Structure 1
Amino acid sequence: SIAIAVFGDPSPILTAVVLTLVVLIFAEVTPKTIAALYPEKVAYPSSLLLALLLKLLYPVVWIVNVVSNALVRLLGFSSEASGNENQLTPDELRTVVYESGGRIPRRRHGMLMNILDLERVTVDDILVPRHELVGIDIEDDLNDILLQISSAQHTRLPVYKHDIDNIVGVLHLRSTGKLIGIEELNKSALLQETAEPYFIPESTPLHTQLFNFQQKKERMAVVVDEYGAVKGIITLEDILEEIVGEFTTDLAASSKDIHPQDDGSFLIDGSASVRDINRVLSWDLDSTGAKTLNGLLTESLESIPDSSVCINLEGYYAEIVQVKDNVIKTVKMWRAPNATFDDGVDG
């Protein structure tokens, strides 16, 4: 009434606008900005006040909750909380970590993102494929087996009969030391030192497999497809490298599949994993489909190419250097200049 007497009829609208601005500035924006800039200084004194208000207003809050829950039930809805409404989803947590900026050291930031990505990656994405497996055929000559053991670069070797699909055990090279003193070393003694193979399906997510390794006290698993055929092996170290990165300082120089060239390009083996290429070279090739570079190129070309074919893979040039037995063996790749290119093939 005073506002109407002083300013006339339009004053209620003006009053509402002014009060809204005052509330927004002094009760919303400014306090939140101060709290965001100085969270530690604001949080503790605010918590004391909030704790006092919670105790004083508890009866009122209880009555309001009872009435509101009763109305919700009358409307046919459930008043029970799911318990997940205040929990961050994996995507939300990934966004929080991504936007943390310089508050988290770069290395820890990368490790956190890699941990969150474990559920998106399966063992099929990082396994050592069967054609690269180094194992012991128990049907070979004993001298050949011993020579293979002495020259092995891995601590665990799969043991099979005739074919890699028939794995009978896993031999830890540490356990072979006790066999040296045996006068008549034979295959039976070797088989007795082998551990039972641990088989897993190819679709197992990495975070699940990491937990399984921990629960079963295993360090190596044999990956099989839906038909039971061996696709490769995966170790605990392979999963850990997905989190912390390769255990080396110069990834490109240490990779046996990626060879840097003087002109800035790279000679890459066609069997190289697309994920490994992306990780080693910090590239962004599509890894959602084909697992290897050979598969990615043939999938893009929709045919088996001849050598000297060049293709643009969304900003990365790939020149086919060698094709043998219908498989792309060697590819020369380099990042395209800073320009947008249409996907195409040059002969």
Structure 2
Amino acid sequence: MSLNRYRLKHLVNKKHAGATRASELLARPDRLIGVILIGNNLVNVLASSIATVIAIRLYGDIGVAIAGILLTLTLLVFAEVTPKTIAALHPERIAFPATLILKPLLIIFHPIVLLVNVVSNGLARLLGVNPTAHNTNEHLHPDELRTVVDEAGDLIPDQHQGMLLNVLDLGKATVEDIMVPRNEVVGLNLEDDVVTLLQQIRTSEYTRLPVYEGDINNVVGTLHLRNAARFIFGDDSTITHADIRRFCRKPYFVPESTALHTQLLHYQKEKRRMAFVVDEYGDVQGIITLEDLLEEIVGDFTTNNAGSVDEEITAIGDGWFIIDGSTSIRDVNRELEWDLPTDEAKTVNGLLVDTFQGVPETAMSLTLKNYRFEIIETSSKMIEKVKATRLELDNEE
């Protein structure tokens, strides 16, 4: 019963004979416990009877008490505490050889075991317990799996542990949480003249550029600079808007509520690397790339030309940080190991604007949970920069 079920399954897959026998016995734990306890109680009762008879012949009536005390100590030390402690510490070393005895005993005592199980299982059902529901307990909850990964120690390198934990967290976040918001999207507006568009293409820091007409909601498609190389060289006067349209790939839209692990599978299925995120009304809210999603698992591994988290969060000493208002709350929590709420707002600006019910004036401050924010720079539309720290609460609080 102390065997690690996951290691046991691994050994069964490796065709380990002892593990296979143990797995077969554990498939019906009620029968396994039944045959063990039948043998255990049978031996104890017989030992007690024999010890009592011998003690009475040797010491008379007082021998009953002597036999009871000596037999109890003997059984506790040699038949209960010592062997069960060893078995708990080294379950495989004890359990696998023990199956060679337990399997034949289960056959020999099968009628008795069956009778005992029928009675005990019936009683368990009367008490509201399903004795056959044990298998449901063998599946790990995601939080339990996180604990397993955390406690793996040297078996899993720290970097790999972080990646595994990030994979488990993918189901908790949506594309809305990590998308590039529409106001930060760099793209080609076909209402601009060709010269301006070609200048954007030639100086672009990105491999793929969204193409739209007038407003990003009027998306035409995505232009890969590899395709742009076919028409950007030569005389600019011969290039038209139609050339740009011709080499655009059809846009790929995803709902903002799509879970990250689901979107990863969609990228694989659709053979795409960029998607336009839309809300319930079909309006484009931003874009999400495959690189953005992969960085949620492995961390930053590409050059982020829009600015890194290190540039958005600056330590100024004494536990205080200067944070850009557009910084994602998820990035703040991950970088500073904070736990700011992410249920409603996605950025620091959104969180504070929701709290203030509008864009506050500079020099204003507030305490949210156990975090202190001071507004140091605003614009007419948003909070540009804040100074923030985590407060140390008293134990009573």
Deviation at 1:288, TM superposition (A): 3.2
1:213 is the counterpart of 2:273: no
Partner SS state of residue 178, structure 1? coil
Q: Which of 82, 107, 120 is matched with 2:172 structurally? A: 120
1:237 is the counterpart of 2:291: yes
Structure 2: distance between partners of 1:88 and 1:205: 21
Q: TM-score, normalised by structure 1?
A: 0.80
More deviation in 64-73 or 279-288? 64-73
Aligned partner letter, 1:205:
A
Structure 2: distance between partners of 1:339 and 1:126: 31
Aligned partner letter, 2:161:
H
Q: Which one has the bigger helix percentage?
A: 2
- Is the 1:315–1:341 Cα contact (8 Å) retained in structure 2? no
Structure 2: distance between partners of 1:149 and 1:227: 31
Structure 2: distance between partners of 1:341 and 1:167: 54
Deviation at 1:97, TM superposition (A): 1.3
- In the alignment, which residue of structure 1 is the partner of 2:33? none
Q: Which of 350, 357, 363 is matched with 1:308 structurally? A: 363
- Is the 1:169–1:195 Cα contact (8 Å) retained in structure 2? yes
Q: CA RMSD in A?
A: 3.8
Deviation at 1:178, TM superposition (A): 1.3
- Is the 1:69–1:79 Cα contact (8 Å) retained in structure 2? no
Change (3 A) 1:7 1:133: farther
Structure 2: distance between partners of 1:300 and 1:58: 67
Change (3 A) 1:27 1:193: same
Q: TM-score, normalised by structure 2?
A: 0.71
Equivalent residue pairs, number: 332
- Please list every run of 5 or more consecutive structure 1 residues that lacks an aligned counterpart in the other structure: 36-41
- If you compute each CA radius of gyration, which structure gives the higher value, 1 or 2? 2
Deviation at 1:235, TM superposition (A): 0.8
Deviation at 1:286, TM superposition (A): 2.5
Structure 2: distance between partners of 1:80 and 1:205: 35
- Is the 1:253–1:259 Cα contact (8 Å) retained in structure 2? no
Q: Which of 300, 304, 314 is matched with 1:246 structurally? A: 300
- Is the 2:359–2:380 Cα contact (8 Å) retained in structure 1? no
- Please list every run of 5 or more consecutive structure 2 residues that lacks an aligned counterpart in the other structure: 1-48
Cα deviations across residues 22-78 of structure 1 (Å, max 9, x unaligned)? 55522333322245xxxxxx56x854x3664586467579986899699979x8999
Change (3 A) 1:10 1:221: farther
Question: Matches of residues 136-155 of structure 1 in structure 2 within 5 Å?
Answer: 136-155=188-207
- In the alignment, which residue of structure 1 is the partner of 2:211? 159
Aligned partner letter, 1:236:
L
Change (3 A) 1:21 1:96: farther
Deviation at 1:133, TM superposition (A): 0.5
- Is the 2:87–2:95 Cα contact (8 Å) retained in structure 1? no
Q: Which of 77, 84, 91 is matched with 1:28 structurally? A: 84
Structure 1: distance between partners of 2:206 and 2:109: 65
Change (3 A) 1:286 1:9: same
- In the alignment, which residue of structure 2 is the partner of 1:271? 326
Cα deviations across residues 146-171 of structure 1 (Å, max 9, x unaligned)? 11111211111111111111111000
Deviation at 1:103, TM superposition (A): 3.8
Deviation at 1:188, TM superposition (A): 0.9
Structure 2: distance between partners of 1:140 and 1:323: 30
- In the alignment, which residue of structure 2 is the partner of 1:258? 313
- In the alignment, which residue of structure 1 is the partner of 2:150? 98
1:286 is the counterpart of 2:338: no
- Is the 1:268–1:330 Cα contact (8 Å) retained in structure 2? yes
Aligned partner letter, 2:331:
D
